[in-house]
Amino acid sequence: MSQIPNQAVHRALAGGAKRAWHDLRFGDLYRSGKEFELMGRAMGFAALAMLTMFPLLVLVAAASAVAHHGLARWVVYGMGLTGSSARAVVQLFSAPARVLGTTSAFSVLLLAVFGVTFAGSVQAGFERVWGLPAGPWHKIWRQAVWLTVLIAYIYAVATVGDVTGHAPAETVTRVSVAVVLGIAFFWWGLRFLVGGRVSYLAALPGAVVTVAFLTGLRAFSAWVFQPLIVSNAVTYGALGTVLIVQSWLIGVGWVVYGGQLFGRWLHDAWLRAGPDTRRGHRHPGGREQGHERPGGEESEPTHGDPSTPPG
């Protein structure tokens, strides 16, 4: 007889979990990530970032008089490293003192072209997340501007500690500035890359989630990657440090794209008013669950305020 109440409780819990899964539309989020091939795109993001962004950041860091260790200091900040793990990264990414004098104009041009390619891959990922057609080729200037602002954002966030102290109040100020800059960049960056085809309201959740995920990645990196850098540096030398940094970049790519997927899910599931908009939306990859019109046609869903003009 005691098994009957237990079975009833089990069925009630299972039914509640099923209803919560359906009502919160977690299934949509899971399908979106699967169709988007999130891990594969994150690995591509990491490879392009290592090949294109890092050389550009080396040049910017070499020209900066603020960051003493240049790019190495920025990577240490982003990963939340201290002690011997931070020293291993500094040793790996410390650029030669004459890097600016030995860099030719042709090298800078190549780095700029590769950097725009990196920005183009991010744009393509954002367009797929939001179910948008590819932007016209002559809008490549958007990718160049976005890349420039990205470098400025990384520089500002990583060096803000150099112009503030370490008192509690100054630490709060530094963290607040980093959060505000992050939300502003990812909020603006999505709309700018896709040409204003996503409204400000629709772009905001993804920006907030991305910054929150970056904060979590930094904590995870300090907890997991930091001891791995020390052990791998002893076992494999500089190659071990490179592998851990590359793994961290994969995490950054997962955060950038995953934040947009999560923001799209939040917007479609909770922010779009009305029961009709909750019944259908387009998943990444072009498959659409729209609303049927008379005659079998499907209506085109909009993202946020349809009156928002393209940027």
What pTM was estimated for this model as a whole? 0.77
Angle at 126 between CA 123 and CA 128, to 5 degrees: 110
SS3 (DSSP) at 198: coil
282 closest CA partner among 260, 303, 310: 303
Residues of the chain with pLDDT under 70: 1-26, 61-70, 94-104, 161-167, 170, 271-311
Residue 167: predicted pLDDT: 66
SS3 (DSSP) at 135: coil
Residue 33: predicted pLDDT: 78
Residue 196: predicted pLDDT: 92
Residue 289: predicted pLDDT: 44
Strand-pairing partners, residue 282, are 288
Spatial separation of the C-alpha atoms in residues 250 and 242, rounded to whole Å: 12
- Computed over its alpha carbons, how large is the radius of gyration of the chain? 23
Residue 195: predicted pLDDT: 93
pLDDT tens digits, one per residue of 187-230:
999 999 999 999 999 999 999 999 999 999 999 999 999 999 98
CB 82 within 8 A of CB 228: no
- Residues, the chain: 311
Residue 298: predicted pLDDT: 38
CB 265 within 8 A of CB 29: yes
CB 208 within 8 A of CB 190: no
